[in-house]
Amino acid sequence: MSDSSLRPAPATRILAGSSRNNPQLEVVSLPLQMLTVTLAIVALLILAVVDADGSLSVPLVIWFSLQAISLAMGAFWLRRRSVGRSIPPAISPFLLMLAISSFLWEPIARRLFAVGRPLEMLVMHALGAAVWGLALVSLWQKNQGISVLLSLFLAAFSLSAAHQLVVQGLAAMFALIAISWLTVRYWDQLSGRLRGQSTRSGHGFLVPGLAILFVLLAFTGGRHREFMATLNGFLPSSGGTGDSSPHARHGIGNGEMLVAGCENIQSFGPIDDAPFMTDDKPSLYDVFDDTYEEPVKPSSMDRSIALMPDKDMVKTEHMHTQVQKANREFSTARKPSGKQRNDVRNINSDALFYVSGRTPLHLRLELYDTFDGINWTAEPGPISSSEPPDMKMVKESGRDWLRLPDRSKNWEFLGPAETHAVKIIQLETNVIPAPLHLHGVHIADVDRPDLYKPGPQGLVRMDREKLAELVPIHLASRTVDHTKLVQEPWNGNEQRYQKVPESLRPELTRIAQEWGAGSPRGWTQIEAVICQLREHFHYDHEFREPDKATSPVLSFLTKSHRGPDYQFATAAAMLLRALNYSTRVVSGFYASPGNYDAASRHTPVRKSDVHFWTEVRLGNGAWVTLEPTPGYEVLLPPLGLWRTIELAAWRGAIAAWRRRLWLCASFLLVGCLLWFRHLIADNWFIINWRLCPRQRSAVQAWKILSYRLRVNGWKTTQGTTPRKQLNQIAAVLPEYSNTLQDFSSQLEREVFGRHLPFETDNGNRCSDRMLLLLSRSACRDLARHRDEKPTPPKFGHSSCTSSACLHRPTVSV
Amino acid sequence: MLATATTPETDSIALLRKRLNTVLQGKEEVVHFVLVTLLARGHLLLEDRPGLGKTTLAKALASALGKRFARIQCTPDLLPGDITGFSIFNQKTQEFEFREGPVFAEVLLADEINRATPRTQSALLEAMAERQVTVDAQRYQLPAQFFVIATQNPLDQHGTYPLPEAQLDRFAMKLSIGYPEPEDERKMLAMAVGDTEETFIDSEPIFPPQRLVQLQNEVARVHVDSRLQDYLIALATATRNHPHVSLGVSPRGVLTWQRTAQAHAFLDGRNYVIPDDIQATALPVLRVRLGVDHDDATPLIHEFLETIPVPHYDASAAETRKF
């Protein structure tokens, strides 16, 4: 750079004393303010979606649009007007008025327009108004943190009341923008923009940062339902307080029906300290009839027809005197379902009982071994003299457990022991609903084995008319590891589990052999049959085979290919029997993971959870649960960490494959954005430069130039000033040294000479010339030709002649 | 291009610079930093071999400023009174009269200060710091533009009393003139033919009275942005925490550094400091006061300048402009 072109600066009057930064004047950077405003807009959008509650209306869209536009424009206008000024004192009362405006408007709206909001929505709208106001004034440093924090709270509370899937996407967008906000704020502090923070330890972003991280962990940790349930507890609700509100968003409008109170506590899960209760409740078989409709009764004409041999089989196989209840039969021929019943919610919880522990869980109540083509007949119960109960009481950890045979030492396919708890609410049975491979039962204060009675084949009953209500029954059982069943022998010898009605055998055998062809005998073949049912048949709880069908199961297998769960169970049992496996059908309840209540951490089991499934017997006498009905699953042993990760990765891969088009489009878009990121960033900076005020034209231009130099590999150290960089460029482009020098002076004047009067147009001209001179391609060429290791200036012993080292005027006399 | 109108002050400085460059050929940087030290109201330590023009420089400077010049050749037998002055009994008036010592000159050259005893050094350094001397319980003010150029010989350290760090901190800068380039030496020889050193010494002063004080006051008012002060503090902190630095920059040193940066900006024609001013004055300012494990602090100083980030040139600072 030529020194001869330099002249001393004009003698401007130096103001006495330099003005220090007033903390009240400190404004945040434009990117940080934009991110804060965007966070507020996204939080308001989430609130709008929740407020719409599935019904998007034009006024709501208009209202949100007005909020967003007014916020963005207002924030920008305020920024331009308020530079160098302190925070107006009217801000605080303005924010307060915004916050309470929702509460003030509510009685007016209810009276004039007959529309209203429940309490939780009122609170959220008040919070939304405060968020709007704080985002508007977020250009000042002191309003930044609380603006972001309230936006976070608004988003989180809105999410806790949301049911729409789109809200999840908005939550992800909020999280991404929040991370960007944290990053920009961190770099702002490092760059020393916020002088006030340089004296502090930088805790300003710690609280909102931790809060955002907490929300992200709660969501990504997979326990977001519990998190939302917890969060919802902090929000005032319009239900459960005993008041009745016509504007309530949930329930049936009667707040008092949700929680009954201490005299009629029937909504609690299995806890050990609830009192005994008795009441008139539906019997188990009323439950079955309610769920599956009544069986088809044979007509009087049919009774005169000679009984089918299958019916004789029933008489010879079972002693009816052993059937303790006359109606221990289940007919697969049921009446068509009538008109849909209204799901009446009564005053109490509609759960029959509650289950705590891992789900899904098949809770067995009745076992059926004989099938006559239409009816399943239950297994006889144990004869007290011939089947002595193998039950004894043991004390473990201070509790009395009924110990049942545990074959885990002999049967390697049994998984680790796990416990569940069942609490009967309204179910009349004395059979304890329990999973397969039960080996322990504990009921508080029940310490004698004679209070228990063995049920049919592994079931346990209480020696009383029905189970005690509201008393937790703890169950210890084991699951089956299906991967270890392949080696097990499958040759059974109990004939009653292999009987197939002769009228159905040919067809069943044909279908079974067709499905099981190509699979080796054993678990693989069994899985093949079950998979056929799960994948090619449709579960339809309401569907019934026509009355004229002689065999509902054959009609299911060959014609309709749809039906309720008992048809699936029957078909699976019969097909496997046709392949000489020992099977039976089990009825009971299915505790579904979908019904899990995160708030109370248990699974309610309702009438609709009545279920039928199949069990198959190994050669060593062990039974294995089979689930042929689509949509139902069998509880497997808990997975280890690596297996869980492997499964998650596999499921992720499957999900990704299903959405491959969207994924490809997203990758393409992201790839394009990354490939052209420098171009996009450069154009974005150019736009900012064109829109910025003239008094910071050189600063914005330097931002662009330094970015261009940096991305093209122009390396500098942290201690390299812009003047030195421009001197280095001048060494490569000496013909432009005047332009570079002018720009350097203008830049330094804008940044450090703030007390000087602004010189119109000069900054723009300098910046224009510089941006033209140092285009993207020019910067690329510069970086290529530059000497990457400039020698530092030397003082003292040798004269510093390099014009890149010193910049001082020389004057000719 | 920025407007570049000249003022009487800038003309005077340019003339002064020219005269000193004429006296000391090829040493523009040294002359520049001498002017920086002068305008910053600091004192200068020159560490160099004999015969490189230290005395000539000091004399030319005094002459140009129109000030008195005094020279002290420090020897081990130099007494404090030889510097500050002493009282002598006047037989005629029967009173003690104070005879001013060389320290009362405006420009004082103290040659080989490391040869004087520590007691004598202290007397001079105290005068430099407080701009007053106390003799026989009587306080005497020194001139407002009191400027000391002290010299040290880097060789021949036998029998010397090196200045302790606490006293080195009183100097604004440490410079080294060095041998001239052959071309400059040729010019010097050519100029010496038919000319005497007194030609420059007896020249008319460039600065009118009090002009130097005005300039020094203007330098003190040169604007220093708060971020540049943070930058100074960051650099000073780095010097204090470096494992190879036994003594970092003191707060007095930081104040001196800021003042020299202001003077550097003023000489550059600006009334605001930029980071380059701080970096330009870093070497001479830090070299005199940093205590390092090695002989030369230059590599460490370069390391500080390269690793401590300069203030960010951003828009938020520019927004708070006042009109």
Tell me the pLDDT tens digit for each residue of A419-433: 999 998 888 888 899
CB contact under 8 A, B272 and A7: no
Flag if B223 and A795 touch (Cβ within 8 Å): no
Chain A residues inside the 8 Å CB shell of B222: 14
- Are B305 and A719 within 8 A, CB to CB? yes
pLDDT over 60 at A6, yes or no: no
- Residues of chain A contacting B276 with CB distance shorter than 8 Å: 721, 723-724, 807
Inter-chain contact B315–A703, Cβ cutoff 8 Å? Answer: yes
Distances (CA, A) of B44 to A569, B34, B35, B179, B199: 103, 7, 10, 19, 25
As given in the structure block, the two tokens for residue A318 are 């079972």
Averaged pLDDT for residues A526-549: 88
More confident residue, A182 or B323: A182
The model's pLDDT over A745-796, given as tens digits with 9 standing for 90+, comes to: 989 988 998 777 766 566 667 788 888 888 888 888 888 777 554 544 333 3
Mean pLDDT of the residues in chain A: 76
How many other CB atoms sit within 10 Å of the CB of residue A34? 20
Residue A406 has pLDDT above 50, yes or no: yes
Least confident window among A33-47, A114-128, A310-324, A653-667: A310-324
Least confident of A285-289, B119-123, B141-145: A285-289
Q: Is the pLDDT of residue A388 over 70?
A: no
Average the pLDDT over A655-659 and give the result. 88
Q: Please answer whether residues A137 and A28 qualify as being in contact, where contact means their C-beta atoms are separated by less than 8 angstroms.
A: no
Residue B207, pLDDT score: 74
Tell me whether residues A807 and B317 touch, CB distance under 8 A: no
- Residue A377: the pLDDT is 87
Would the pLDDT of A9 be above 80? Answer: no
Reported as a single tens digit per residue, the pLDDT across A250-266 is: 544 443 333 333 344 44
Residues of A with Cβ-Cβ distance to B272 under 8 angstroms? 748-749, 752-753, 755-756
Q: What is the mean pLDDT of chain B?
A: 84
Q: What is the DSSP letter of B318?
A: H
Measured CA to CA, the distance from residue A535 to residue A515 in angstroms comes to 12
Helix (H) or strand (E) holding A573: helix A565-578
Which range is least confidently modeled, A168-172, A529-533, B213-217, B256-260? A168-172
From the list B285, B280, B284, B288, the residue with the least C-alpha distance to B255 is B285
- Would you say the pTM of this structure is higher than 0.80? no
pLDDT score recorded for residue A760: 57
Give me the pLDDT at residue A455, please. 76
- Average pLDDT estimate for A39-61: 85
- The answer to whether the Cβ–Cβ distance between B178 and A9 falls below 8 Å is no
- Look at residue A488 in the predicted model and tell me its pLDDT: 77
**Greater model confidence, A490 or A603:** A603
Please name which of B206, B200, B201, B297 lies closest in space to residue B245, comparing C-alpha atoms. B297
Q: Considering only alpha carbons, which residue of chain B is nearest residue A758?
A: B323
CA distance A714 to A728: 11
Measured distance CA(A586)–CA(A459) in Å, rounded: 11
At residue A548, the pLDDT reads 67
Instruction: Give CA–CA dist A510/A374, Å, rounded.
Output: 20
Q: If you search the block for the tokens 């523009």, which residue do you land on?
A: B28
Tokens 């961190």 — which residue? A186
How many Å apart are CA B254 and CA B289, to the nearest integer? 11
For residue A504, pLDDT beyond 50: yes
Q: Give the per-residue pLDDT at A341.
A: 47
Which residues from A are below 8 Å from B3, CB to CB?
9-10
Q: Are A102 and A63 in contact (CB under 8 A)?
A: no
The confidence score (pLDDT) of residue A802 equals 35
Cβ distance of A17 and B320 shorter than 8 Å: no
pLDDT, tens digit (0-9, with 9 covering 90-100), for B150-194: 888 876 667 778 888 878 888 999 998 888 889 888 888 888 887
Residue B261: list chain A partners with CB under 8 A. Answer: none
Residue B57 and residue B149 in contact, taking contact as beta carbons nearer than 8 Å: yes
**pLDDT-based confidence at residue A531 (cuts at 50, 70, 90):** very high
Q: What is the nearest CA distance from B315 to chain A, expressed in angstroms? A: 6
CB proximity list for B221: less than 8 A, separation 6 or greater: A14, A15, A16, A17, B271
Residues A633 and A643: their CA atoms lie apart, in Å, by 18
CB B171 within 8 A of CB B152: no
Contacts B316 to A, Cβ<8 Å: 27-29, 193
Better pLDDT: A219 or A6: A219
B169's tokens: 């901190």
pLDDT of residue B292: 85
What's the rounded mean pLDDT across residues A70-91? 80
The average pLDDT across B93-121 equals 87
Interface A-B: count of C-beta contacts within 8 A: 204
Q: Which of A136-150, A745-759, B297-311 has the lowest mean pLDDT?
A: A745-759
For residue B117, the SS3 value is coil
Query: Following DSSP, what letter does each residue of A285-302 receive, concatenated?
Result: HHHHHHHH-PBPPPPHHH
How far is A376 from A803, CA to CA, in rounded Å?
103
Both tokens of A611, joined, read 């279920």
What would the mean pLDDT of B51-57 be, rounded to a whole number? 84
Q: What pLDDT was estimated at residue A373?
A: 87
Q: Which of B49, B230, B271 to mutate to test the interface with A (most CBs of A within 10 A)?
A: B271
* Cross-chain residue pair B4–A754, CB shorter than 8 Å: no
Neighbours of A493 (CB within 10 A): 10
- pLDDT above 70 covers what percent of chain B? 90
Residue A235's pLDDT is 59
CB nearest to A83's CB, from B226, B274, B319: B319
- CB neighbours (10 Å) of residue A684? 11
Percent of chain A with pLDDT over 90: 22
| pLDDT at site A722 | 93
* pLDDT surpassing 60 at residue A440: yes
**Can the peptide bond before residue A360 be classed as cis, meaning omega within 30 degrees of 0?**
yes
Contact map slice: B 254-273 vs A, CB within 8 A: 267-273
pLDDT of residue B1 exceeding 70:
no
pLDDT higher than threshold 90 for residue B255: yes
B 282-301 near A (Cβ less than 8 A)? 283-284, 287, 298
Whole-angstrom distance, CA of residue A809 vs CA of residue A802 = 14
Nearest-Cα distance to chain B for A788, in Å, is 14
Average pLDDT over residues A341-348: 44
Please check the confidence at residue A304 and state whether its pLDDT lies above 60.
no
Residue B206, pLDDT above cutoff 70: yes
| Distance separating alpha carbons of residues A596 and A55, to the nearest angstrom | 27
Mean pLDDT computed over A116-132: 86
Query: What is the helix (H) or strand (E) element at residue A400, kind and residue range?
Result: strand A399-403
What residues does A442 pair with on adjacent strands? A474
Cα separation, B165 vs B297, in Å, equals 14
pLDDT of residue A275: 42
Q: For strands A361-371 and A375-378, give the pairing.
A: antiparallel
As a whole number of angstroms, the distance between CA A798 and CA A577 comes to: 103
The pLDDT, as a whole number, for residue A756 is 73
Please report the pLDDT score of residue B234 as a whole number.
94
Distance set, CA A335 to CA A211, A297, A373, A543, A545 (Å): 57, 9, 16, 10, 9
For residue A700, list chain B residues with Cβ-Cβ distance below 8 A.
315
B101 pairs with which residues across the strands? none
Q: Burial level of A92, CB count in 10 A (0-12/13-18/19+)?
A: exposed
If DSSP codes are grouped into helix, strand and coil, which group holds residue A585?
Answer: strand
| Cα dihedral sign, A726-A727-A728-A731 | positive
Please report, as a single letter, which amino acid is at residue A554.
L
Kindly tell me if the per-residue pLDDT of A454 is higher than 50.
Answer: yes
How close B251 comes to chain A (CA, Å)?
Answer: 18
Q: Residue A120 pLDDT more than 50?
A: yes
pLDDT score, position B318: 46
d(CA B187, CA A811): 20
CA angle A534, A537, A540 (to 5 degrees): 105
CB A691 within 8 A of CB A743: no
Backbone angles phi, psi at A424, to 5 degrees: -75, 135
Question: Which of B4, B227, B304 is nearest residue A10 as measured by Cβ atoms?
Answer: B4
Which tokens in the block code for residue A668?
Answer: 């393409």
Which amino acid is it at A118?
Answer: P
Confirm or reject contact between B95 and chain A (CB < 8 A). Answer: no
Give the mutation candidate from A14, A22, A199, A800 for the B interface (greatest B CB count, under 10 A).
Answer: A14
Q: What is the mean pLDDT of residues A265-292?
A: 51
Is the per-residue pLDDT at B115 higher than 50? yes
Looking up tokens 């020279």, which residue turns up?
Answer: B71
Mean pLDDT value of segment A693-718: 86
Contact B221 A16 (CB under 8 A): yes
pLDDT at B156: 64
Q: Do A796 and B269 touch (CB under 8 A)?
A: no
